Structure 1
Amino acid sequence: MEIEQLGPYKIVGKLGRGGMGTVFEAIHSETGEKAAVKLLSASLAHEEGFRARFEAEIETLRKLKHPNIVRLFGFGEQEGHLFYAMEMVVGNSLEEELRQGRRFGWRDVTRIGIDTCRALRHAHDRGVIHRDIKPGNLLLPADGGGIKLSDFGIARLFGYSRLTHVGNVLGTAEYMAPEQAEGRPVDARSDLYSLGAVFFALLARRPLFRAKSLPEMLHKQRTERPEPVRKYSPDTPAELEHIIGELLEKDPERRIPNADLLARRLEAMMHALSIVSETLQADTGWFFDGKSSAGSQSSSLFAPSNEVPATLELDQSGQEQLGATSAASPAAAEAQAGGDVETGSMARVETQPPTRFIEVGEDELGYIAEEEPRPAVISLHTWVLVAILLLIGLTWWWFLQPPSADSLYGRIKNTIADGSIQSKLRAENNLREFLNRYSDDPRAKEFRGLERDIDLHKLEQEFESRLNSRLKRYESEENLQPIERAYLEALRYLRLDKELGTAKLQAIVHLYGQHGSENEPTGQCLALVRRQLEKIEQETEKYAQDQLYLLFERLDAADKLSAEDPERAKEMYRAVIVLYADKPWAEAAVGRARNALDSL
Structure 2
Amino acid sequence: MSCSVSYPFTLCANRMESGRRIYSPDEYILDAKWLIDPNHLFVGPKIGEGAHAKVYEGKCKNQTVAIKIIHKGETPEDIAKREAQFAREVEMLSRVQHNNLVKFIGACKEPVMVIVTELLWGGTLRKYLLNMRPGCLDRSVAVGFALDIARAMECLHSHGIIHRDLKPENLLMTADHKTVKLADFGLAREESLTEMMTAETGTYRWMAPELYSTVTLRQGEKKHYNHKVDAYSFAIVLWELLHNKMPFEGMSNLQAAYAAAFKNVRPSAEDLPEELATIITSCWQEDPNARPNFSQIIQMLLKYLYTNSLSEPSVPPRIFMSENIVLPPDSPGTRSLMPVRDDTGDTPKAMMEDKPKGFFLCFNQCY
Shorter-chain TM-score range: 0.5 to 0.7
Distance 1:248 1:116 in 2: 16
Distance 1:82 1:168 in 2: 25
2:130 alignment partner, one of 85, 99, 103: 99
Distance 2:83 2:314 in 1: 45
Q: How is 1:409-448 mapped onto 2 (pairs within 5 angstroms)?
A: none
Corresponding residue for 1:27?
Answer: 59
Corresponding residue for 1:216?
Answer: 255
Alignment CA distance shift 1:278-1:44 (3 Å) = farther
Corresponding residue for 2:168?
Answer: 135
Distance 1:302 1:42 in 2: 23
Offset of 1:129 from its aligned partner?
Answer: 0.7
Letter in structure 2 aligned against 1:275: L
- Which stretch of structure 1 is more off in the superposition, 121-130 or 216-225? 216-225
2:236 alignment partner, one of 193, 197, 217: 197
On the 8 A contact 1:110/1:266 being kept in 2, the answer is yes
Corresponding residue for 2:282?
Answer: 246
Distance 2:169 2:342 in 1: 13
Offset of 1:54 from its aligned partner?
Answer: 1.5
Alignment CA distance shift 1:126-1:63 (3 Å) = same
**Is 2:206 aligned against 1:170?**
no
Offset of 1:208 from its aligned partner?
Answer: 2.6
On the 8 A contact 2:120/2:339 being kept in 1, the answer is no
On the 8 A contact 2:206/2:233 being kept in 1, the answer is yes
Corresponding residue for 1:237?
Answer: 273
Q: Deviations over 1:17-58 (max 9, x none)?
A: 3432221111113xx211100111232795133212311221
The higher radius of gyration belongs to 1
1:39 alignment partner, one of 65, 69, 76: 69
Distance 1:86 1:218 in 2: 32
Distance 1:255 1:59 in 2: 28
Offset of 1:196 from its aligned partner?
Answer: 0.5
On the 8 A contact 1:38/1:83 being kept in 2, the answer is yes
**Is 2:266 aligned against 1:226?**
yes
Distance 1:226 1:195 in 2: 13
Alignment CA distance shift 1:6-1:302 (3 Å) = farther
Q: Deviations over 1:444-466 (max 9, x none)?
A: xxxxxxxxxxxxxxxxxxxxxxx
TM-score by length of 2: 0.67
On the 8 A contact 1:11/1:26 being kept in 2, the answer is yes
1:118 alignment partner, one of 133, 139, 151: 151
Give structure 1 stretches of 5+ with no counterpart. Answer: 158-163, 285-298, 308-341, 347-600
Corresponding residue for 2:324?
Answer: none
Offset of 1:180 from its aligned partner?
Answer: 1.8
Distance 1:21 1:167 in 2: 21
Offset of 1:146 from its aligned partner?
Answer: 2.1
1:15 alignment partner, one of 47, 57, 75: 47
Q: Deviations over 1:195-239 (max 9, x none)?
A: 100111222222332465554332112133224234xxx4x3221
Offset of 1:95 from its aligned partner?
Answer: 0.5
On the 8 A contact 1:20/1:44 being kept in 2, the answer is no
Alignment CA distance shift 1:119-1:43 (3 Å) = same
Q: How is 1:460-471 mapped onto 2 (pairs within 5 angstroms)?
A: none
- Tell me how many residue pairs correspond in the alignment: 277
Letter in structure 2 aligned against 1:263: I
Corresponding residue for 1:55?
Answer: 87
More strand by percentage: 2
Alignment CA distance shift 1:212-1:142 (3 Å) = same
Offset of 1:151 from its aligned partner?
Answer: 0.8
Offset of 1:117 from its aligned partner?
Answer: 1.2
Give the aligned CA root-mean-square deviation in angstroms: 3.2
Secondary structure in structure 2 of the residue aligned to 1:208: coil
- What percent of counterpart residues are identical? 25
Offset of 1:113 from its aligned partner?
Answer: 1.2
The higher relative CO (CA closer than 8 Å, separation ≥ 6) is in 2
Offset of 1:271 from its aligned partner?
Answer: 0.5
Secondary structure in structure 2 of the residue aligned to 1:113: helix
On the 8 A contact 1:45/1:82 being kept in 2, the answer is no
TM-score by length of 1: 0.42
On the 8 A contact 2:119/2:339 being kept in 1, the answer is no
